Structure 1
Amino acid sequence: MTVLMWVIPYRPHPRCDTYLYVALDGSEDYESIAAAVNATTPFNPLRTCIFIKKGQYEESVTVPSEKINVVFLGDGINRTIITSNNLFNTTSTGTLKILGTGFLAMDLTIRNTARPGEGEEAVALENWGDESIFYRCSFTGNSRTLYAVGFKQFYRASEIHGSTYFIYGGAQAVFQNCVIKTVQSGEKDIVVSGNVRSYPSQQSGFFFQMCKFVNPLALFTSGTALSVYLGAPITPYSTEIVMQSYLDSSVIGWKLYSPTFSQCPNTAFFAEFKNNGVGTTNRNLSS
């Protein structure tokens, strides 16, 4: 399980070489986040801090691969908000797309308000950034809220809201002290996460430590309480661990009935360790 044991040293106050400021009212260097990102120096080995003042920034933002070591610093969750209404497809990304390495974000909300139909996704974050860190952030969307595509990623003290498979992708991703909340989807069951690991040497896996898995509104569909699954084997070598976490009464285990798992019951890996809450005793692994 060394694939999951990657750790980024957390520095709450990053030292920056360059400082840029964004404010909606035009009182700072830039009025949009995208303009500030475009102004950063490509391939800068030192950090560039972009301070984003409180407000709702209605834009889709991409941090390109040449924009490395970029830092977003907001005024707090639900104070600095980056939002879009984009369905995720071949021509449209989610709200925030990270391609550059060494990205760090603190104290902001990333939101996608789109309401997808069947087979569509409302992605708040599409993250390709190696060694990326999100601290005290909130991610709100629907299906695929947090698309952790690949490489090494770390999420701490953050909130993730979504409907089904809302934490998804092939990254080596660590989630620590996060609150993971389900939202209404119109579906009978909700699957929180889907790790994409297609072959044994692929460096991929999801690791949840000291998190809370909650269904805050006690959601119901057609008078029946929703069942929340921690994850499902969507690829032959899907790998997930939940440890030292709180599982509320809506959580009933792992969704292991899928055709993928039936073809590879000895290769996918799902584990729990020292969790607490009513959800630790609700175990239905086949429905």
Structure 2
Amino acid sequence: MAEMTETANMQAQITLIVAKDGTGQFSTITEALNTLEEDDIRPAVIYIKRGIYKERLTIRRPFLTFEGEDPQETVITYNLGARMEMEDGTKRGTFRTYSVFIDTHDFTARNLTFENSAGPGAVVGQALALYVDGDRILFDNCRMLASQDTIFTGPLPPKEIEKNGFIGPKQYAPRINGRHYYKDCFIRGDIDFIFGSATAYFENCELYSQDTGREINGYVTAASTPEGQEYGYVFEGCHFTGNCPPRSVYLGRPWRNFARVVLLHCRMEEHIRREGWHDWGKREAHDTLYFAEAGSTGPGAVPEERPEWVTLLNEDELTPYSRARVLGGKDGWMSGR
């Protein structure tokens, strides 16, 4: 794959411009995507000017960059929820609610908002702004807005717990671990709003928990790291914020028993519960999950209250969790940034 990436970078770049006001080559992102062939490995950039683009997108073309004009004012949005009915009368379910589905490798997004505007999870159920299932995926200075299940970092776990729980585009696809990098992003949600099985590194991001009106206002993460996978989620220098009452939000819970989440030098406001983490009622997961913190600060950082199955790391134990180590892989991706 590294050789293919190098070959692609030597080819002439394709540049397309999308503008709602008619000043670009296309007025919709869909039109621009339709001009790109999925088997074309030349790098391509779609510049997206300010505007609200109500479009549901599927991206399978590799070596593609979405470049927004302004992260606040360049918005890709749609509004599907899990409890909505399909034409056949069945419920849509979680994995058919995405606003944008990224099913490729070497995709980059900068200066954009990805939104699912379906509504609160208590009303519409899960509603994905992003379904991301690929390798070498970068989000830089982006905003992800939804309620329950804002970002799914695929792949799916090997097996579903509930019958038909995985109905969607990758239900029967091979489970292939990908690497995702979220840099300087704002991510908003309530219940399990970052969840899935990928190796994902979050650097200098704001994780905003919104009030649900419940005693427990949600969980920021719900990792499903496969057994034997070295890394799950790593958060470096991130800020956990929100508008929830004090002590009402958990940092995470294990969607699957081998979940791995590591927080490094993160600031946590008062909405984070003193115990920090939840086991989802899975006592058997205490011996298999890996939830860890180092250098946490703020009123939500209460190390003495964390459960005994949470690891508190020293500064001299953090070398394995550098961005280069987590994302580098065999091709050295992101190692030199």
Q: CA-atom RMSD, angstroms?
A: 2.1
Q: What CA deviation, in whole Å up to 9, does each residue of 1:89-136 have, x standing for no partner?
A: 358331111001100000011111112346821111110121100000
Task: Give the direction of change, closer, same or farther, for the CA distance of 1:278–1:62 in structure 2 (3 Å limit).
Answer: same
Instruction: Give aligned pairs, total.
Output: 262
* 1:231 aligned partner: 252
Opposite residue 114 of structure 1, the aligned amino acid is A
Q: Does 1:38 align with 2:43?
A: no
Correspondences of 1:213-252 after superposition (within 5 Å) = 213-215=240-242, 217=243, 219-220=244-245, 225=246, 227-252=248-273
Q: Does 1:144 align with 2:149?
A: yes
CA distance in 2, matches of 1:112, 1:142: 8
Deviation at 1:40, TM superposition (A): 1.3
Higher strand share: 1
User: How high is the TM-score relative to the length of structure 1?
Assistant: 0.85
| Residue from 52, 55, 73 that aligns with 1:59 | 55
Q: Does 1:111 align with 2:115?
A: yes
| Residue from 264, 288, 291 that aligns with 1:267 | 288
Opposite residue 147 of structure 1, the aligned amino acid is F
CA distance in 2, matches of 1:243, 1:103: 26
Task: Give the direction of change, closer, same or farther, for the CA distance of 1:181–1:52 in structure 2 (3 Å limit).
Answer: same
Q: Does 1:47 align with 2:58?
A: no
Q: Does 1:125 align with 2:146?
A: no
Check the 8 A contact 1:139/1:145 in 2, yes or no: yes
CA distance in 2, matches of 1:176, 1:40: 31
Task: Give the direction of change, closer, same or farther, for the CA distance of 1:187–1:149 in structure 2 (3 Å limit).
Answer: farther
Correspondences of 1:168-187 after superposition (within 5 Å) = 168-187=195-214
Q: Does 1:73 align with 2:67?
A: yes
Q: Does 1:96 align with 2:119?
A: no
CA distance in 2, matches of 1:53, 1:203: 39
Deviation at 1:284, TM superposition (A): 5.5
Deviation at 1:184, TM superposition (A): 2.0
Opposite residue 83 of structure 1, the aligned amino acid is T
CA distance in 2, matches of 1:123, 1:162: 10
CA distance in 1, matches of 2:271, 2:281: 24
* 1:4 aligned partner: none
Opposite residue 184 of structure 2, the aligned amino acid is A
* 1:193 aligned partner: 221
Opposite residue 154 of structure 1, the aligned amino acid is Y
CA distance in 1, matches of 2:225, 2:198: 9
CA distance in 2, matches of 1:182, 1:257: 19
- Mean Cα deviation higher: 20-29 or 87-96: 87-96
Opposite residue 255 of structure 1, the aligned amino acid is W
Deviation at 1:39, TM superposition (A): 1.0
Check the 8 A contact 1:195/1:204 in 2, yes or no: no
| 2:142 alignment partner, SS class | strand
CA distance in 1, matches of 2:138, 2:181: 5
CA distance in 2, matches of 1:35, 1:106: 20
Check the 8 A contact 1:58/1:83 in 2, yes or no: yes
Higher helix share: 2
Opposite residue 270 of structure 1, the aligned amino acid is F
Deviation at 1:78, TM superposition (A): 1.4
* 1:23 aligned partner: 19
* 2:76 aligned partner: 82
Task: Give the direction of change, closer, same or farther, for the CA distance of 1:265–1:16 in structure 2 (3 Å limit).
Answer: farther
Task: Flag structure 2 segments of 5+ consecutive residues without an equivalent.
Answer: 1-10, 83-91, 156-177, 309-337
Q: What CA deviation, in whole Å up to 9, does each residue of 1:26-67 have, x standing for no partner?
A: 221111111111211323333100000000001111102xx1
Check the 8 A contact 2:18/2:28 in 1, yes or no: yes
Opposite residue 194 of structure 2, the aligned amino acid is I
CA distance in 1, matches of 2:146, 2:301: 26
| 2:235 alignment partner, SS class | strand
CA distance in 2, matches of 1:169, 1:119: 20
